[in-house]
């Protein structure tokens, strides 16, 4: 069993839909990172959080440390949000990566 | 003004050869990382350095040798390349290697072993 599980693995939605990606982890962590990998391969850091909720534009990340669970939400999704979203808990001085969720937003 | 730059972007070579990938960051960070992304797109840490000192060596074969001549550079040398080394290698950097600092990634080096 992976230390970091994401669901769903693949998600296709219509433009404008509300998107939720879930992450469960079994490792001890200091914080959890959400990353976005573009179709071209580049990786961008979206959020780091260790409690509660953070919001950047249309993206919202939440975490429940006790339940070892985090969610990434996208409101009013747009085709440019199509990417792979990766959950990565930070513990023992390193990131441990989930398998990623491939999101496709159809116009 | 690229923040984390890796060279080369693509590397195609024969099994058994030795090759190097270079990474440089101009963000003033003191911690740098090498990650491997396999054919299933799964990312895994290989090494991290803080102020030129090795912090993490994640059970990587001895054929892989990182070298950090200064805080801004972390190069990866690979000896006797094997088919299983085919992957995308990402360099990243952060400030202090801390949990709440974002990591900035290079664009990746796609290594293909023939």
Interface of A with B in 63-102 (CB under 8 A): 84, 86, 88, 90-91, 93-97, 99-100
C-alpha distance from residue A28 to each of A9, A33, A56, B25, B92 (Å): 23, 14, 26, 29, 22
Please write the tens of the pLDDT for every residue from B30-52.
999 999 999 888 999 999 999 98
Q: Is A4 on the interface with B (CB under 8 A)?
A: no
C-alpha span between A21 and A49 (Å, rounded): 16
User: Is the pLDDT score of B1 beyond 70?
Assistant: no
Compute CA A10 distance to the chain's CA centroid, rounded to the nearest angstrom: 12
Please indicate whether, in this complex, the C-beta atoms of B44 and A97 are within 8 angstroms of each other: yes
pLDDT digits (tens, 9 = 90+) for B66-83: 999 999 999 999 999 999
pLDDT value at position A85?
98
Query: Backbone phi, then psi, for B3, in 5-degree steps?
Result: -75, -55
Angle CA B5–A9–A44, to nearest 5: 20
A42, closest residue in chain B (CA to CA):
B107
Cβ separation A33–B102 shorter than 8 A: yes
Regions in chain A scoring below 50 on pLDDT: none
């Amino acid at each position: 069993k992976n230390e970091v599980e994401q669901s769903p693995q693949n998600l296709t939605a219509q433009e404008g839909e509300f998107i939720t990606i879930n992450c469960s982890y079994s490792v001890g962590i200091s914080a959890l990172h959400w990353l976005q990998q573009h179709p071209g391969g580049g990786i961008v850091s979206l959020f780091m959080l260790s409690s509660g909720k953070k919001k950047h534009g249309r993206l919202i990340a939440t975490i429940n440390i006790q339940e070892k669970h985090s969610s990434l939400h996208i409101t009013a999704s747009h085709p440019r949000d199509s990417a792979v979203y990766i959950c990565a808990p930070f513990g023992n001085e390193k990131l441990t990566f989930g398998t990623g969720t491939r999101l496709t937003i159809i116009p | 003004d690229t923040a984390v730059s890796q060279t080369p972007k693509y590397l195609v070579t024969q099994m058994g050869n030795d090759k190097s990938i270079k990474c440089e960051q101009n963000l003033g960070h003191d911690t740098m990382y090498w990650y491997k992304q396999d054919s299933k797109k799964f990312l895994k840490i290989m090494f991290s350095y803080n102020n030129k000192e090795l912090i993490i060596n994640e059970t990587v074969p001895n054929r892989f040798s990182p070298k950090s001549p200064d805080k801004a550079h972390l190069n990866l040398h690979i000896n006797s390349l094997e088919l299983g080394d085919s992957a995308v290698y990402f360099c990243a950097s952060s400030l202090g290697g801390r949990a709440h600092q974002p990591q900035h990634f290079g664009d990746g080096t796609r290594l293909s072993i023939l």
